[in-house]
């Protein structure tokens, strides 16, 4: 029998607690109780699989949430039918945590609603569940049938991951954001660098990074293949969660002698605004390589780059100005709360007057399922997370991923634009 | 789980993502027949006209990366893929494929040894792969006991149904 592991990472401690074990080690297969399981409206199959596996009553209805974010609201009969069946299921199963169309993108909604907290195991039918590592949670994505297993049994098997440590030092330059930093890192390491692993961020840069920016970092780790991400909760985390979360959570800390699978560090002072060019997320280069390229659509939204801070930076750049006549600017607040806050701050007013189109909080065109689709030959700059062929519509469209600031500056000029020149003031 | 699979290889590059395996605009479809119509449409719209039941998909690194959409695995199941061999798999796709009872095998460097159209014979239990054209033997990683158990039950749905019967 293996001895208790005294050199555990915080993530290992989270999984150990959830698995009812004293300790776990990398590579081990464990069955974990899941604190929160989320289903979004792409996955009616979850309900079908649940029934196919003999499910009658969901084991823990209070640990399930359904968030209707991809078809917000339904734009086809099929979408409407799928959502109808989900609502019905929630009613039948006493699943009260149903966030219907307009609530927003699942990951943002869960944070807004105080459902995310340190030390929890959060599983969702979405790959960007890694976002919640920003709060010291173990957040990971699965498919429909795995989620059905959780509904049926309350738990799911996981292979305990190794952890990659990424230390961020230096000072972020003006006009540079978390999105630029993570794009730089993904471009540097490659799309499969962190397969099956957790990516942990630490270092002096984090201290001053807002929660919104931390979420952007953690969200994008999926694009390096990460299973989950992790940022050790600190005062900023606790201040953020104080009035949101009602749960008595436990904050785990990594043992000082824990051995990371790799230790990397980056001096962010050297990083300038980046873009990820078609057609893979790791195809990253400084924005100046692409400046001047005409843009048909600028898109600001998603769990990656659609928060109030993101809408706010766009408003700052576009205040009193109008976007270029050849460019459509689609703005999708990531949630109802983001929408309300953006309205209260006057951002929506500024953006609409500048020529932006505001879309219902949700996933919209981020993955080509809803409002803001591209056709062949169109060029789009987006604050979202993927640029694979066909990601936002036609396989012949070209998607460049960048920071919300770069998206707004490009909408203004009608071509790919380094936002720094619009952020030099104050 | 089929002991041996023999079929033509359809070879794809590294980082083949699930948006290409099953494009986003079809995610609202739920019935098997509909889902099966769009397999690999993002990367090869002719795939469904060429691929026959029992044929084999060969990928490079990080096969199935990106979105968690189970439809990407499901559409290949509907097309009756014999096996999926790749140098590495994205974890969510791997889980989805296993859960649906598909044979997924990790085969280092396979991209260098298999060309489109090569006829492969795959021993699913041992992971041995024979390329008929080159007469080469390749060795994929044998499936773990845990995974074999799922595949042999026909997928996680059958397995859970049995294990939790009456509960």
Average pLDDT over residues A75-84: 97
What is the pLDDT, as a whole number, of residue A2?
55
Nearest to B84, CA basis, from B102, B109, B108, B66: B102
How far is C-alpha B141 from the chain's CA centre?
15
Chain B touched by A85 (CB under 8 Å)? no
Nearest Cα residue in chain A from B26: A369
Both A222 and A141 in a single domain? no
A151 in a domain, yes or no?
yes
Distance to chain A for B109, nearest Cα, Å: 15
Residue B56 has pLDDT above 90, yes or no: yes
Both A152 and A168 in a single domain? no
Residue A1 has pLDDT above 80, yes or no: no
Average pLDDT over residues B56-74: 97
Both A96 and A120 in a single domain? yes
Q: Under 8 Å CB-to-CB from A244, ≥6 apart: which residues?
A: A111, A112, A113, A114
What domains, with CATH codes, occur in chain B?
Answer: 4-163 (3.20.19.10)
Cα dihedral A108/A113/A116/A121 (nearest 10) = -100
Both A295 and A367 in a single domain? yes
What is the pLDDT, as a whole number, of residue B166?
75
Both A132 and A174 in a single domain? no
Contact B19 A389 (CB under 8 A): yes
Residue A147 is part of which domain span?
10-159
A255 in a domain, yes or no?
no
As a residue count, chain B comes to 167
Both A147 and A185 in a single domain? no
Both A150 and A177 in a single domain? no
- Long-range pairs of A316-322 with CB within 8 A, sequence gap ≥ 24: A316/A422, A316/A423, A317/A405, A317/A408, A317/A409, A317/A412, A317/A419, A317/A422, A317/A423, A318/A350, A318/A351, A318/A354, A318/A356, A318/A408, A318/A411, A318/A412, A319/A350, A319/A354, A320/A350, A321/A354, A321/A412, A322/A353, A322/A354, A322/A355
Residue to substitute from B13, B27, B71, B73, interface A, most A β-carbons within 10 A: B27
Q: How far is CA A355 from CA A305, A319, B1, in A?
A: 19, 11, 57
Ramachandran class of A390: left when φ > 0, alpha when ψ lies in -120 to 50, beta otherwise: left
Contact A145 B156 (CB under 8 A): yes
The predicted-structure confidence for B110-165, as pLDDT tens digits, reads as follows: 989 999 999 999 998 889 999 999 999 999 998 888 888 998 898 999 999 999 98
Both A142 and A130 in a single domain? yes
Chain B touched by A283 (CB under 8 Å)? no
The predicted-structure confidence for A338-392, as pLDDT tens digits, reads as follows: 999 999 999 999 999 999 999 999 999 999 999 999 999 999 999 999 999 999 9
Both A121 and A207 in a single domain? no
Average pLDDT over residues A320-341: 98
Q: Under 8 Å CB-to-CB from A149, ≥6 apart: which residues?
A: A53, A155, A156, B156, B160
Average pLDDT over residues A249-263: 97
A254 in a domain, yes or no?
no
CATH number, domain of A106, equals 3.30.499.10
Both A37 and A100 in a single domain? yes
Looking at A159, A174, A209, the residue that finishes a domain is A159
pLDDT more than 90, % of chain A = 98
Q: How confident is the model at residue A3 (pLDDT cuts 50, 70, 90)?
A: low
Q: How confident is the model at residue A34 (pLDDT cuts 50, 70, 90)?
A: very high
How far is C-alpha A14 from the chain's CA centre?
21
Q: How confident is the model at residue A6 (pLDDT cuts 50, 70, 90)?
A: confident
Contact A125 B68 (CB under 8 A): yes
The predicted-structure confidence for A196-230, as pLDDT tens digits, reads as follows: 999 999 999 999 999 999 999 999 999 999 999 99
Both A298 and A230 in a single domain? no
Nearest to A80, CA basis, from A106, A99, A100: A100
Looking at A159, A176, A195, the residue that finishes a domain is A159
Residue A426 has pLDDT above 60, yes or no: no
Both A47 and A154 in a single domain? yes
Averaged pLDDT score across all residues of chain B: 94
Record the pTM: 0.96
The predicted-structure confidence for A104-161, as pLDDT tens digits, reads as follows: 999 999 999 999 999 999 999 999 999 999 999 999 999 999 999 999 999 999 999 9
What is the number of domains present in chain A? 3
Instruction: Give the CA diameter of chain B.
Output: 52
A1 in a domain, yes or no?
no
């Amino acid at each position: 029998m293996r001895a208790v592991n005294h050199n555990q990472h915080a993530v290992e401690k989270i999984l150990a607690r959830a698995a009812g074990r004293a300790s776990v080690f990398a590579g081990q297969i464990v069955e974990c109780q899941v604190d929160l399981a989320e289903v979004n409206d792409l996955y009616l199959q979850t309900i079908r699989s649940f029934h196919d596996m003999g499910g009658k009553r969901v084991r823990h209805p209070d640990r399930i949430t359904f968030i209707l974010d991809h078809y917000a609201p339904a734009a086809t009969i099929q979408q409407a039918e799928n959502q109808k069946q989900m609502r019905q299921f929630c009613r039948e199963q006493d699943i009260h945590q149903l966030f219907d169309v307009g609530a927003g993108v699942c990951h943002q909604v869960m944070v807004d609603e105080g459902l995310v907290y340190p030390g929890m195991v959060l599983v969702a039918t979405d790959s960007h569940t890694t976002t919640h590592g920003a709060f010291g949670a173990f957040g990971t994505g699965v498919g429909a049938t795995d989620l059905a297993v959780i509904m049926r049994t309350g738990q799911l098997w996981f292979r305990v991951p190794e952890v990659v440590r990424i230390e961020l030092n230096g000072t972020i330059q003006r006009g540079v954001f978390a999105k630029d930093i993570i794009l730089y890192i993904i471009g540097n390491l490659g799309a499969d660098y962190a397969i099956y692993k957790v990516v942990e961020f630490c270092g002096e840069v984090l201290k001053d990074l807002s929660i919104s920016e931390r979420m952007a970092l953690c969200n994008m780790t999926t694009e390096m293949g990460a299973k989950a991400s992790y940022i050790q909760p600190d005062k900023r985390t606790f201040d953020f969660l104080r009035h949101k979360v009602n749960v008595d959570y436990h904050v785990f800390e990594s043992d000082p002698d824990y051995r990371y699978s790799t230790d990397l560090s980056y001096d962010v002072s050297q990083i300038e605004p980046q873009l990820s060019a078609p057609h893979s997320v790791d195809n990253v280069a400084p924005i100046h390589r692409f400046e001047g390229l005409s843009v048909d659509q600028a898109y600001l939204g998603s769990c990656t780059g659609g928060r109030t801070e993101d809408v706010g930076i766009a408003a700052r750049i576009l205040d009193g100005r109008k976007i270029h006549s050849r460019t459509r600017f689609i703005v999708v607040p990531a949630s109802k709360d983001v929408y309300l806050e953006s309205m209260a701050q006057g951002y929506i007013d500024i953006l609409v007057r500048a020529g932006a189109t505001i879309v219902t909080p949700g996933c919209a065109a981020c993955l080509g399922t809803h409002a803001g689709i591209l056709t062949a030959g169109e060029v789009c700059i987006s604050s979202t997370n993927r640029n694979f062929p066909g990601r936002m519509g036609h396989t012949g469209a070209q998607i460049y991923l960048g920071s919300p600031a770069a998206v707004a500056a490009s909408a203004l000029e009608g071509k790919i634009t380094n936002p720094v020149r619009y952020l030099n003031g104050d | 789980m089929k002991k041996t699979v023999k079929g033509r290889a359809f070879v794809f590059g590294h980082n083949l993502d699930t948006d290409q395996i099953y494009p986003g605009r079809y995610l609202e479809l739920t019935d098997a027949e509909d889902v099966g119509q769009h397999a690999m449409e993002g990367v090869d719209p002719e795939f469904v006209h060429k691929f026959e039941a029992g044929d084999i998909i060969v990928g490079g690194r990080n096969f199935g990366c990106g979105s968690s959409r189970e439809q990407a695995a499901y559409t290949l199941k509907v097309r009756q893929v014999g096996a999926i061999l790749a140098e590495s798999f994205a974890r969510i796709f791997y889980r989805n494929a296993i859960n649906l009872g598909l044979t997924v095998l990790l085969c280092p460097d396979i991209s260098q040894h298999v060309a489109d159209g090569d006829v492969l014979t795959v021993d699913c239990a041992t992971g041995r792969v024979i390329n008929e054209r080159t007469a080469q033997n390749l060795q994929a990683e044998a499936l773990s006991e845990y995974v074999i158990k799922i595949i042999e039950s026909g997928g996680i749905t059958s397995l859970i149904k049995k294990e939790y019967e009456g509960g």
